[in-house]
Amino acid sequence: MRHRYSILLFPLHIFVDFLSLNIGFVGAYGIKFGTIDPVFETPYATLWWVFNLVWLAEIILFKPYIFPRQLFKADHLIKKMLLLMALHIAIIAVYWVAVKGYYYSREHLVIAYGLFAVLGIAFRVGGLIFLKEYRARGYNNRRYIVVGYGKLATTIRGFYDAHPEMGFHFYGYFDEPNDETSDLLRGSYSDLLEYVKVNHIDCVYCCMPYIDNNRLRHIVDGAENVDYQVKLLVDFRGFLAKGASVEYHDFLPVLNLSPQVLADFRVNTLKRGFDILFSFSVLSLGAPFFLLVALFTRLSSKGPILYAQERIGRDGKPFLIYKFRSMYINSEQSGPALSAGDRDSRITPWGRFMRQTRLDELPQFYNVLRGDMSVVGPRPERQFFIDQIVEVAPEYKNLLKVKPGITSIGQIKFGYASSIEEMVQRLRYDLMYPERRSFMFDMWIIAQTVRVMMQGRGK
């Protein structure tokens, strides 16, 4: 029987996690109280049972130990464990409040979860190191072939060659012979099933569009008799980077190549709801502070308190952005010009302080309420400068697919740009946002912005 030891990984994983959980619980009691005898008696024995039952329920519901080899990596395993542990902590906290178990030691629980995390992570890292060495010696490996020769076929082979720890061994290509086929061609489609049977092949990768549907169906039907996996390779790399998704029309899968990440309803709804709530809170609670900043702005130099300027928003739509005026009036009589930072004589002394602390951006919360902007998003620019940036970096157009924001990664990592070259440098940071945006990522950017404001490090 091939891979007879692989089946042991699942129960071993469960056993070690339960062992780690119980060692953590009992060991933490010993560390806290200097003895472990009372942990076997009420009320701690009850809590001990609840600890194990909650973990068992999580295993049954979420099946955390079932994943392909491609995801058998330290970061994935540890992340999954920590997520389950966080849920476990939340459920135990609810149980604690429900039974009014204030007699349980919080320090004991903290130590218990700490020990559990250390043991669980150590097992996962140690297990991966062992498997890597074990597979390097030729054990616990999978044999695979690729049907349909072309660039996609060489790509999947290159992937497994670069990751020997996954234990996939290449056994050749299958295709109809022609001038472009490789020396590693093991035969034509008619030879495939016999080759799979004789060489105990575990996985057959079929590359589209190099193989037609009739031959693919023949390979799939043969898997029932010879016992191998069939995996379909389709080259969607250029589309998936833009956020493709699969839709099902009855039984027919349809690939949606529109930028799904950018149009995702849940993300947009949650983001807009947060924008409204956060902006309304800032404008309401910060009204006295806003009036104070406005007073200083009015007294520091002649001119209006607020400054309005046309910027380009989502999908190229222009809007008026509002800021506390940080420059002397008529600073752009000769035409649009970027700020030269601390060396810019157009900036007032008070304006320089506002820029360092980002206070000049506060009126833009009104833009957020109007829907022109978001709290987090790439900074909007004027069309005059966008035209120049696009000539150097056409990828800037990707930023116009999302709503601009008051703060962004570029603002945190780079700050204000004083030239087109610096705008392009800042662009490298802002381009990360459309692909990675999420509620938690927005919270991280806001926290970093507050830190920059408090430290007065705005550039």
Q: What pLDDT shows up at residue 17?
A: 94
**Nearest Cα residue to 108 out of 124, 92, 120, 122:** 92
Residue 260 belongs to some domain of the structure: no
Q: What pLDDT shows up at residue 269?
A: 78
Q: What pLDDT shows up at residue 246?
A: 64
Q: Which of 185, 215, 235 is the last residue of a domain?
A: 235
The helix or strand, by DSSP H or E, that contains position 42, with its residue range, turns out to be: none
Q: What pLDDT shows up at residue 74?
A: 82
Question: How many CA atoms within 13 Å lie on the side-chain side of 229?
Answer: 10
Q: What pLDDT shows up at residue 113?
A: 95
Residue 246 belongs to some domain of the structure: no
Q: Which two tokens stand for residue 172?
A: 């050749």
Residue 368 belongs to some domain of the structure: yes
Check which CATH number belongs to the domain holding 228 and give it.
3.40.50.720
Q: Say whether both 61 and 147 belong to one domain.
A: no
Give 310's strand partners. 320
Residue 150 belongs to some domain of the structure: yes
Residue 247 belongs to some domain of the structure: no
Q: Say whether both 93 and 173 belong to one domain.
A: no
Q: Say whether both 168 and 208 belong to one domain.
A: yes
Q: Say whether both 432 and 294 belong to one domain.
A: yes
> How far apart (Å, rounded) are the C-alpha atoms in residues 249 and 229?
26
* Strands across the sheet containing 142-147: 185-187, 168-174, 142-147, 203-208, 229-234
Q: Which of 194, 215, 235 is the last residue of a domain?
A: 235
Q: Is 148 left (phi over 0), alpha (psi -120 to 50) or beta?
A: left
Q: What is this structure's pTM?
A: 0.47
**Nearest Cα residue to 417 out of 313, 340, 309:** 340
Q: Say whether both 21 and 116 belong to one domain.
A: yes
Residue 250 belongs to some domain of the structure: no
Give the Å distances, CA to CA, from 315 to 330, 376, 398, 399, 457. 30, 17, 10, 9, 32
**Nearest Cα residue to 406 out of 322, 284, 328:** 322
Q: Say whether both 286 and 424 belong to one domain.
A: yes
- Which residue stretches of the chain have pLDDT < 70? 1-7, 67-72, 179-183, 236-253, 255-267, 332-343, 456-459
Q: Which of 136, 159, 193 is the last residue of a domain?
A: 136
Query: Which ranges of 105-259 would DSSP assign to H, the alpha helix?
Result: 106-136, 151-162, 192-198, 213-226, 237-240
Residue 242 belongs to some domain of the structure: no
Q: Say whether both 151 and 131 belong to one domain.
A: no
**Nearest Cα residue to 157 out of 228, 205, 191:** 205
Q: Say whether both 341 and 320 belong to one domain.
A: yes
Q: Say whether both 128 and 185 belong to one domain.
A: no
Question: DSSP secondary-structure letter at 379?
Answer: P
Q: Say whether both 71 and 210 belong to one domain.
A: no
Q: In 195-269, which ranges are E strands?
A: 203-208, 229-234, 245-249, 252-256
Q: What pLDDT shows up at residue 45?
A: 94
Residue 258 belongs to some domain of the structure: no
User: Which residue range(s) make up the domain with 77?
Assistant: 6-136
Total domains in the fold of the chain: 3
pLDDT tens digits, 35-56: 999 999 989 999 999 999 999 9
Q: What pLDDT shows up at residue 247?
A: 65
Give the Å distances, CA to CA, from 199 to 141, 222, 414. 13, 15, 57
Q: What pLDDT shows up at residue 237?
A: 59
> How far apart (Å, rounded) are the C-alpha atoms in residues 409 and 427?
9
Q: Say whether both 107 and 151 belong to one domain.
A: no
Q: What pLDDT shows up at residue 5?
A: 54
Q: Say whether both 404 and 451 belong to one domain.
A: yes
